[in-house]
Amino acid sequence: MTAEPTIAAPASAVTLRPNSIGVVGMVFMIVAATAPLTALATNIAVSIGFGVGVGTVGLFIAVAVVLAVFAVGYLLLARHVRSAGGQAAFVSFGLGKPAGTAIAFVATVAYNAAAAGMSAATGFYASIALEQYLALQVPWYAFTAVTLTLLAILGMRGIQTAEKVTIVSSLLQFLFVAVLAVAVFAQRPEGWNLTPLLPSEAFSGNLALSLVFILLSFGGFETSTIYSEEARGGHRSITGATYISLGLLTTVFVVSTWTLIAAHPDVVATTATDPGSIVTATASEYIGPWAGGVITLLIMVSFFGAAIAFHNMAARYQFALARAHLLPGALTRTHGAHSSPYVSSLVQVAFSALLLLPFVVAQVDVFSTLFPAISGITALSLVAMMVAASVSVVAARGKGKIRGGWFAARIAPSASALVLTAVGLLIVLNYSAVTGGDSPVFAVMPLIPAVAAVYGAIRQYRRPGGPGVEGYLESALEES
């Protein structure tokens, strides 16, 4: 038996309720954050119409392989780190407190912005659905206000209630994808061929654009580790949830994308004409005219599930930063009955409201202004977080803080860091394509995660004796 350092909160620290979420719950929180149906109607449609075309199917598989390689080293660290700080705690473990705190602030900004954006989209589609079914016109921000209120209630009630909502949301999306796939296969079986899997298709066209939007489709991949303090089964549950969710998402994205391709003789031209309507048009043609309205409701539910997932991630990052004395201590207050970070949840809701208020006052379009900005910030932040976590694995192994074979501790994290760094550079170099706009305001958006990182690092440097976002060190005995 040998003692190895493991990061966790001490007995005296404020912690979240243990054993409150299992593998199934974590899987569906990850799935909800990606909002598969929403990704199909937005990210995937853009990739088909303006990226690599039918090769999007093969590229999804390639990106999934990269993420699986990343997960090898990532989950090696998960044996030693247990914190609501997620990847930030992992980075701190190998690269030091300033680096971990920098990543924590990057994640906090990104997930807060994402939660606000998903809430706005929920309200937007709720407004469309009401007009379709009842011919009533209610502004999107009225429904967004309702969405934010629900987020505050769910945040107070704890992760178990949110888990049930996201499971329902995800299952409805899976059901739609399955029904559409069967309908297309029954009516146009000749559309299903192996062309989308050819490397010549996957790595053709605007590869950079497709890579960005496919990576965005896997957003929220670190959710399982954020719930490590609340998870039943410890590291084994975290590992299972991570790989199961990756496999499930890959399957859903590949099947749904292949379905769209099989449904149209020239899917690239059809999608490029109007990428926003390709999903509803396909469903109306193969399932029935009534399907268009149902899809609008499902997309609304999909966005709401994503809002819940990102809200919970942002709230837990704020909780971890407050526990490390890097944000106001009030954010560590938990609800007595549910042990949920309810103050942090309320602050996240308030942040979303403040972020959305200027768009409401200016009466601008949600998708031509808010979403472009958020998609770029979120994609760049996710890449930065994963690269830093990969490098942290190698550094921790070099310092002797973890054990592991050459593949898990060196080769896998090094390879994923190099590939993801290349993707990050593609995002920056093609930022106008990522955001869908060339406004000077959008051009400076990549600076926001950078400023957050610098601020976090400076805060930690000024208080070197502080605990850091990762929590506290304690000795853990493991089999040698």
CA dist., res. 230 & res. 413, Å (int) = 26
Spatial CB neighbours of 418, under 8 Å, sequence gap ≥ 6? none
pLDDT tens-digit map of 168-205: 777 887 888 889 999 999 999 999 999 999 999 988 88
Query: Comparing 258 with 327, which gets the higher pLDDT?
Result: 258
- Is there a contact between 271 and 45 (Cβ–Cβ < 8 Å)? yes
Contact 18, 11 (CB under 8 A): no
pLDDT, tens digit (0-9, with 9 covering 90-100), for 138-159:
999 999 999 999 998 887 765 6
Task: In the chain, count H helices and then E strands.
Answer: 22, 2
**Which residue type does 53 have?**
G
How confident is residue 135, by pLDDT bands cut at 50, 70 and 90? confident
Tell me how far apart the 2 most distant CA atoms of the chain are, in Å.
69
Fold of 2-478: Amino acid/polyamine transporter I (1.20.1740)
Per-residue pLDDT tens over the stretch 312-322: 888 888 887 88
- Cα angle at 455 between 454 and 460, to 5 degrees? 100
> Quick check: 376 and 431 in contact, CB under 8 A?
yes
| Buried b or exposed e, range 32-47, using 16+ CB within 10 angstroms | bbbbbbbbbbbbbbbb
Q: Quick: pLDDT tens for 375-421.
A: 777 878 888 888 998 999 999 888 888 877 888 889 999 999 999 89
With a cut of 50, say whether residue 7 has pLDDT above it: no
Residue 290 has pLDDT above 80, yes or no: yes
From CA 335, how far away is CA 157, in angstroms rounded? 8
pLDDT at residue 418, rounded to an integer: 93
Give the span between the Cα atoms of 445 and 382, in whole angstroms: 14
pLDDT of residue 347: 93
Which pLDDT band holds residue 4 (cuts at 50, 70, 90)?
A: very low
**In whole numbers, what is the pLDDT of the chain averaged over residues?**
79
Domain ranges of the chain: 2-478
Mean pLDDT along residues 453-473 = 67
If we measure between CA atoms, which residue out of 397, 417, 476, 322 comes closest to residue 93? 397
Q: From the centroid of its chain, how far is CA 279?
A: 22
